[in-house]
Structure 1
């Protein structure tokens, strides 16, 4: 049952033989992700969480005038670094705010969820290509699992630590 739960929550283990670096070096490596062109930010916090990675994503608006709607999503991964176990515990959280009407618009809906983030959104149109044939053109592509979790996970596993997904910290 433990392996199934690990797989569902996204727990990953470093390659055998990878030497674990000290906690402060891992913290520095995770904070250094801010300057590498990733679409999210990593910051230090107080309290029970060591670091928070946060990404605010504004989806393209649909409709016009009073029927215009736009969804703002905030994805947050709270990270706790456990130096004794050489483990990073990651708790995922997602918030959505739907706004309607002309800009800036009023809030018409809110949502909140905890647990593993598995969210992807893709929009496309078909246009005439240079060769005269119809081709698919991607206009909006967001995959949080790929674009947010992968750089964090890669930094943690490369440091010789375990990435463990949890429901609450």
Structure 2
């Protein structure tokens, strides 16, 4: 059951040949990931049961028009707690979604919140007529949170010789 649970939570272990760095060095590595050319930030968590937090805010393209217009604002966070004694980083995913209505969007019509592994892949598309008159699929929005946010953090942790362990509670 332990391996199944680890697979669900996304636990990864480093290559045994990799020499583990200290917790202070790992903290600097993770902060540097957030300073690189990525769509999210990494900063101090300010307590709250974690050492660092990676955060990404996304505003999806609006749908509809006039009073029926809807726009979703999403916030994804990965709370990171460093456990030096076990050389592991415990990562808890959290996400919020706020749907606003109207043009311009102002009135909140729906709120969502969730904790647990982020496995969000979203694509929005429409079909339009091409220059030759044939119907073509046009992708207007593509969001891969797991790939774009979690992978750089997890890769940095594994390269530092630490274990990445998914957690349900921080």
TM-score with structure 1 length normalisation? 0.93
Structure 2 alignment gaps of length 5 or more: none
The reply on whether 1:29 has 2:29 as its aligned counterpart is: yes
CA distance in 1, matches of 2:136, 2:105: 34
Partner of residue 45, structure 2: 45
The alpha-carbon deviation at position 134 of structure 1 amounts to 5.5
The reply on whether 1:15 has 2:2 as its aligned counterpart is: no
Partner of residue 3, structure 2: 3
The alpha-carbon deviation at position 124 of structure 1 amounts to 2.6
Question: SS of the residue aligned with 1:29?
Answer: helix
Q: Deviations over 1:68-115 (max 9, x none)?
A: 000111111000001110000001111110100111411111111111
The alpha-carbon deviation at position 132 of structure 1 amounts to 8.1
CA distance in 2, matches of 1:63, 1:138: 17
CA distance in 2, matches of 1:61, 1:89: 35
Return 86-95 or 132-141, whichever deviates more.
132-141
Return 80-89 or 28-37, whichever deviates more.
28-37
The alpha-carbon deviation at position 136 of structure 1 amounts to 3.6
Give the aligned length.
168
CA distance in 2, matches of 1:98, 1:108: 6
Partner of residue 164, structure 2: 163
Question: SS of the residue aligned with 2:46?
Answer: coil
CA distance in 2, matches of 1:112, 1:79: 19
Q: 4+ residue stretches of structure 1 with deviation over 3 A? A: 131-137
Trace 1:16-165 onto structure 2 (pairs within 5 A).
Answer: 16-47=16-47, 48-126=49-127, 128=130, 135-165=136-166
CA distance in 2, matches of 1:54, 1:96: 14
Question: SS of the residue aligned with 1:14?
Answer: coil
Structure 1 alignment gaps of length 5 or more: none
TM-score with structure 2 length normalisation? 0.92
